[in-house]
Each structure stands twice: as structure tokens, then as C-alpha cells.
Amino acid sequence: FCHNNPWVMIGETMIGRGEQAWEYYRKICPAYLEDKSELHKTEPYVYSQMIAGKEAFKPGEAKNSWLTGTAAWNFHAISQYILGIKPAYDGLVIDPCIPPHLSNFSVTRKFRGATYNIMVKNPAGSMKGISSITVDGQPLYGNKLPLLESGCQCRVEVIMQ
């Protein structure tokens, strides 16, 4: 059953284990399973509700594509917990928990009509922890980006520890 895997990924990030969260993501992400399309017997670009285990009649076969909340839960786990960009009442909280091999990533996040262009750099290969954040070149104290007016844009640079 794939629906619960994102919940496990979220739990791994909450205890700072970005590498393990990423590994769980890779195991069910359709883009990483292209070589198993014949075994899965479902579309190679869609999440399935379940993948039969080794004791099943047809091990590895996927079932119920398009009829699952797995895709939505994976989006939630990846965007808010692994990449760590979480909406809050009064801004966006930045708290990535990534695998150490991920040296940087960028995200354009639209939130309440504003656009946040976020670049996260991980020079030390950390899994969690922020050294600094700047918003349009100005230092931010803490890890919550302020709300912008609708239609505004900002450039955010995050340096992990």
C-alpha cells in the first residue's frame, strides 16, 4: 500500500533523516521506476495505490493507478518536508531535510498571490539545519519568510549548515 509511504517520509524528516526520506521517495516515485514498467503493468508516470509484495500472486504488480491519494500525499511530503517549504498563517517556513548528496535546489513558490524564488545551497552536504537566509539580499533572522503583497516577488537564498 503506497498511500502511507509519504507519512513515513514525513516522519523521517521530523527526526532529521533526509537521506532515508529520499530513499523511501525514490522507491515509489514513478520517474525512478521506469525500468519496472513491465512488472508494474501500470502507466510509468502515475502513482498507484499499491504494489504487490513478494508473497503476492504477482509480486511487483501495481494496482489502482489514478484512484489514490498517494500522489497528493507525495507532493505534500516532498514540497513541505523534504524540500521544507511549509505554508504558515504569517509566512513560509523554510526547513529542508534533504539527502547529503543534494548540493542545491531551487523552487518557485507562489503563496497568497506572491512569488518566492527560493535557492537552497548545501555546501557542507548537511541533511538538516540552516546557517543563513537572505531575502532580496537582506539577512532574515529565523526561518520564516514574511508575507508579501499579492503580485510581489522576492529572491530568497538559503544556506544550509
pLDDT tens, N- to C-terminus, the chain (161 residues): 778 899 999 999 999 999 999 999 988 877 776 666 667 677 777 888 887 888 888 878 878 887 778 889 999 999 999 999 999 999 999 999 999 999 999 999 999 999 999 999 999 999 999 999 999 999 999 999 999 999 999 999 999 99
- Do 95 and 76 have their domain in common? no
- Do 78 and 90 have their domain in common? no
Burial of 36 by CB count in 10 Å (0-12 exposed, 13-18 middle, 19+ buried)? middle
Rounded to two decimals, what is the model's pTM?
0.89
- 57, 82, 107 — which closes off a domain? 82
Cα separation values, 54 from 25, 51, 75, 76, Å: 20, 10, 27, 28
- Do 78 and 119 have their domain in common? no
- 21, 53, 82 — which closes off a domain? 82
